[in-house]
Amino acid sequence: MGKIIIMTDSTSDIPQEVRERLQIEMIPLKIEIDGVTYLDNVTLDPDSFYEKLAAASALPKTSQPSPTEFVEAFQRILQQEPDASIISFHLSSEFSGTYQSALIAYSMLEEQADITIIDSKSASYGFGARVVKAAEMALEGESKEAILEEVSRLEKETEVFFLVDTLEYLQKGGRIGRASAIIGTLLNIKPILSIDKDGFVTSVDKVRGTKKAMNRIIELLHQKFDPQEPVAIIMAWAGRKDAAMDLHELVKNSFNVQKTDFTTIGPVIGNHAGPGTSAVFMYKLKG
């Protein structure tokens, strides 16, 4: 059996040091700010992005890698590991054409290589955690079948809630109307968002005030997890981490958290959610 190579795109928001340690291949999406195009998490890091976003004359535009770029990435891997099996995880097909580009590239190479393309039906560390687990298992010598079985379990069991600091970026991205955004901002409405099992962003609740919104997230997590069962969490933030750390304290004090990871929401996902967004991802640890 050849080596198993794990691949993803930049929207998984896996920190660079983790990608390098676990030998995860990454293909970046692109983001254009005031006429200049950057590679997500390659030529534009999150901190620089949020600075540029604050000064941008219009909402930046994002775009997916082309099928040709995917073919080149796959071929580069196969030149180094001709017998490799590639498992490639990507941003929900409901958010981006990235998955479709990967599928087209796969169709051009399927007779030459063993490539599996996965629509994560999620975003950020909602699927980044699966990529990390797959890479850990690959380095441990686990089979492709075992890896796919475990990431399928994580897909089904991971819950995610985003707390959006401002409605401005949802409005700019066309998710809500301008009048709703203005009224919501005046009333200090904090939307709580999630991603459903089909990969769509869904509005779970709207709460007035950040503290009440965080407590509501704890209530929502209690509906999904027993406070006594061991869980893993990932805390993520866009630009500012203070709110995410406040939410982390609440989660830590409310559940049996055995594993915690932290990450920054990258440019492409942050462009739509907006600075100040906080997210918690939670899944049950296997006994």
Please check whether residues 146 and 168 belong to one and the same domain: no
Residue 260 lies in a domain: yes
Strand order in the sheet with 114-119: 25-27, 4-9, 85-90, 114-119
* Confidence tier at 181 by pLDDT (50, 70, 90): very low
Please check whether residues 19 and 120 belong to one and the same domain: yes
* Cβ atoms < 10 Å from Cβ of 262: 15
Task: Please give the Cα distance from 219 to 16 (Å, whole number).
Answer: 33
Q: DSSP for 194-243?
A: EE-TTS-EEEEEEEESHHHHHHHHHHHHHTTS-TTSEEEEEEEESS--HH
The structural domain count of the chain equals: 2
Give residue 186's pLDDT: 47
Domain boundary among 155, 173, 199: 155
Least reliable range by pLDDT among 194-198, 227-231, 264-268? 194-198
- For residue 35, pLDDT over 80 is answered with yes
Residue with tokens 């997590």, as numbered in its chain: 221
Calculate mean pLDDT across residues 65-80.
96
* Confidence tier at 48 by pLDDT (50, 70, 90): very high
Task: Please give the Cα distance from 34 to 167 (Å, whole number).
Answer: 22
Please check whether residues 149 and 263 belong to one and the same domain: no
Looking at per-residue confidence, does 111 or 36 come out higher? 36
Query: pTM of the entire structure?
Result: 0.91
